[in-house]
Amino acid sequence: MMKNPEWAEDVKAESDAHTAAENAPEEDLLPKSFTPGGTFFLHAPETPPAIWGDGGDVLWAEGESLILAGPQGVGKTTIAHQIIRGRLGLQDSVLGMPVQPGSKRVLMLLMDRPAQARRAGRRIYGEDDEAFLNEHLVIWEGPPPYDLAKRPEVLAAMCERAGADTVLVDSIKDGAIGISTDEVGAGYNRARQKALAEGVQVLENHHTKKAGTNGGEPNKLEDVYGSTWITAGSGSVIMLWGEAGDPIVSFRHLKQPMNEVGPFQLLHDHPSGITTVRHTVDLLDMARIKGVHGLTAVDAAAALAETKKPTASDREKARRRLNKLVDQGLLTKVDPTAPGDPTRWFPGRAYVPSQQAS
């Protein structure tokens, strides 16, 4: 472990240097150069580069943080470890979606129940080479040397000291005390943004309120615990929900860099520490079963949202997924010929029954 007095003193020296720079005379704080507006906006990629994801299905975008939120015991740390293995180049994908390897080390801030995180990591990294892990993975155990909301420069300084281009914050509440207040939430968000500005990819574990806004399963951003700045400053938020220790938990993509991924159910294989997608709605198979009647957006939305009364938002999400399959040649879209009739989707020429919906 890299937790020792010398380490903390180095971090203090680097963070003090950052603070001194912020307190420098105004002329010393001017940026070296500005970016022309046309270049900045017109050369932006249509699809955000993905750390974790594929095409428009981006779960973790480059230069934006990813929050894995959920109550205790639903597998946030287990999934985070798998993503970190991907960043280390030790596995290609997580939940069937590719993870891009990093070029430097990974720093793990194991602040919330580090002993439990260590046991989870023992299962997941059990077959990996110890020398490789020692070279590429750095652990900080326990609270950070300073509250990250009060000293926002510390997170970036710790990553610089560790030689890391990826950091796991496990969890946010342990890095900044009092995150239910906007002052602390804004301070932590500043720490996060400073790290991102230095080229560090930020992965964060976080918690939810005890129940959703309507007393049921949390499924909105406001169900994530703490100040609004926690989620507002993040590029992607995933909600996991279930009882502690459940092998099957729900997965919802509450905030997306581009397309919404899921919802679906996850199956945790606790002995191996591997998580897989247990169930996804097969829209292609639904269209096949509907036959000459075709599949409507309402039918698709009801299945995807697992409700008999899908909302307008549910229906629009279903339409986007159906039209994506049209673009792939797997479905054919037929517009209504009479007022009041719905648009219907039918199997396309490229569809064969053995294929699965993306």
Token reading at 169? 């914050």
Give the tens place of pLDDT for each residue, 117-160.
898 899 999 999 999 999 999 999 999 999 999 999 999 999 99
Query: Based on the number of CB atoms within 10 Å of its own CB, is 42 exposed (0-12), middle (13-18) or buried (19 or more)?
Result: exposed
Counting Cα atoms < 13 Å in the Cβ hemisphere of 262 gives 27
- Assess contact for 261 and 253: CB atoms under 8 A: yes
pTM for this predicted structure? 0.80
Give the tens place of pLDDT for each residue, 287-332.
988 888 999 999 998 888 878 888 998 899 899 989 989 999 999 9
What's the pLDDT score for residue 213?
63
Token reading at 58? 């981006």
Q: Give dist(CA 159, CA 166) in Å, integer.
A: 8
Token reading at 111? 């602040």
What's the pLDDT score for residue 271?
79
